[in-house]
A and B are shown apart, each in its own frame.
Chain A
Amino acid sequence: MEKNFIFAGFGGQGVLLAGTILANAFMLQGKNVTWYPCYGAEMRGGTVNCEIVVSDTEVSSVHKQDTDFALVLNQQSFDKFVQRVKSGGTIIANATLVALTKPRDDIKYVFAKMGDIANSLGSSKVTNMVSLGVLSEACSIVSKEYLAKAVELVLGEKKKQFLPLNLKALEAGCGALV
């Protein structure tokens, strides 16, 4: 079984970091995984995205045209990637910045006010962690426990002081889908 994810948002919203944490969570689960960022002549304030592929066997191709899951944190990313979700796939959107529209009827939509939840915890910077919580609830292939372990691994000793807030945001995201 192979599944792929696209994480997208404004530069600075932390989508590359969120993707890195998801990839680490899969690694800790013992899966084969790849993470690939869009790179090139990017602009500050422009959109950024990364792609994660997880597989039980060797990952086939790192960069794919379509995706099983899209996690989008801003409107531009929603508009762009809603077209790239496979039929039957899921788009998970930050409803704080994305309008509640459903341009296609063959995919699933998950809207959560990730930005508002992050703000209520004290920092909009943890929107990305809230989004990971929402993702783990919306798709059953990554557990909250592994995500939490991956957050700890990625923050490491150097940024340990940010761990409690980030874990709280992850937890809040998991609870946002009731």
Chain B
Amino acid sequence: MTDKVLIKGNYAIAQAAINAGCQCYFGYPITPQTEIGEYLSAKMPELGRGYVSAESEIGAINMVVGAAATGAKVMTSSSSCAVALMQEALSYACSDEVPVVLVNVMRAGPGLGYVYPAQGDYNQSVYGGGNGDYKIIVLAPATVQECIDFTYRAFYLARKYRNPVILLADGLLGQMMEPACFGENPYPEVDVSSWALTGAKGRDGKAIYSCARDEKAHIQKIQDLFKKFELISKNETSFEEFETKDADIVLTAFGSMTRNIKAAVRVLRERGLKVGGFRPITLSPFPHKRIYELASEGKDFAVVEMNMGQMFKDVKYSTEGKSSVSLINRPCGEWLSVEEIVASVEKILESKKEGIYASSI
């Protein structure tokens, strides 16, 4: 399994889930991620594992939560407007501390939106649409290889921290093919026997509760959840940085836009401009600290994303006013081209003012 194969992002995620030991998949089809369910519908029964085509997305995610409570490795996948339907169960999964893996292959919103790729679910994933104080781990792959690597990581992190993990891809990544290598799942098995509900034969019963017995216990529960996330932040925050050392301005993007900013940095460097790049790999926990450090060195930021400025706010918050943050964006559809990004950055450097450099089609 060390050979490279030319494979679609969606199929790569599905096969990586199998390699990671995914025991059950529950899902409902929606463009642009239907290939994940299609692939697993054939492979999972062959392997004697579970595949259920659920009656709805709400059904699918609740089956996932139930199966996860037994300690099984489980996954569902969906897209934007259908992930919106799953928000209640995600809030429960955080509160229940069950290891759910959810793949969101983003399309355009709001509402039904369209099947074009977009990055409009940053807020939905990072801040969530469920009730109460909870946090989800969010991983954003930029290449098909990372679709594989991050799927392995998602299963591991979900079980290590008993916390839901969202793999946030987009239609471009789901539909494109690229050479990639599956390798072996590099992560160790996590022992879940202390909490998994596996039947009380020969031992005392266990239970997983979403609510605490009284106010004091409930406050404690939320504080414990947040303490856990602090630990996740400390251990798991990851990002990629390129050419930032002498940079005056740092282009920042997540997911598959990363490759476009890398190319834009190359072009701008060739023109003698001091431009670097920064890319959060974990959108939650977000690399606030590193952005603050770069801003403290006087480096400005330009956030490049396919939405109306969602990660932009987190970058702006992280800089704490130490430097200026501009936005280069388009809501959905054709990815901002390298040329468009380069032209916008040149405008920002010329005007020396922060602003919004939105591109129409």
Using CB atoms and an 8 Å cutoff, list the residues of chain A in contact with chain B.
20, 23-24, 27, 32-37, 39-41, 58-65
* B172:A60 contact, CB within 8 angstroms: no
How many residues does chain B have at the interface if contact means C-beta atoms less than 8 Å apart? 24
Chain B 230-256 near chain A by CB (<8 Å), digits 1 or 0? 000000000000000000000000001
* A39:B32 contact, CB within 8 angstroms: yes
Using CB atoms and an 8 Å cutoff, list the residues of chain B in contact with chain A.
4, 6, 31-32, 114-116, 171-172, 175-179, 256, 259-260, 262-263, 266, 334-335, 337-338
* A34:B338 contact, CB within 8 angstroms: no
- How far in angstroms is the closest Cβ of chain A from B256? 7
Residue of B31, B178, B338 near A61 (CB, 8 A) is: B338
Bound form: Cα–Cα A32–B176 in Å: 13
Q: What residue of chain B has the Cβ atom nearest to residue A2's Cβ?
A: B263
Q: What residue of chain A has the Cβ atom nearest to residue B114's Cβ?
A: A40
Residue of B6, B176, B262 near A60 (CB, 8 A) is: B262
Bound form: Cα–Cα A64–B179 in Å: 19
Residue of A23, A33, A39, A60 near B263 (CB, 8 A) is: A60
Bound form: Cα–Cα A62–B259 in Å: 9
- How far in angstroms is the closest Cβ of chain A from B328? 14
| Interfacial chain B residues near A34, Cβ < 8 Å | 176-178
Bound form: Cα–Cα A62–B177 in Å: 10
* B259:A40 contact, CB within 8 angstroms: no
| Interfacial chain B residues near A39, Cβ < 8 Å | 31-32, 115, 171, 175
| Interfacial chain B residues near A33, Cβ < 8 Å | 6, 178-179
Bound form: Cα–Cα A20–B335 in Å: 22
Residue of A35, A63, A64 near B177 (CB, 8 A) is: A35
| Interfacial chain A residues near B178, Cβ < 8 Å | 33-35, 59
| Interfacial chain A residues near B115, Cβ < 8 Å | 39-41
Q: What residue of chain A has the Cβ atom nearest to residue B334's Cβ?
A: A63
* B260:A35 contact, CB within 8 angstroms: no
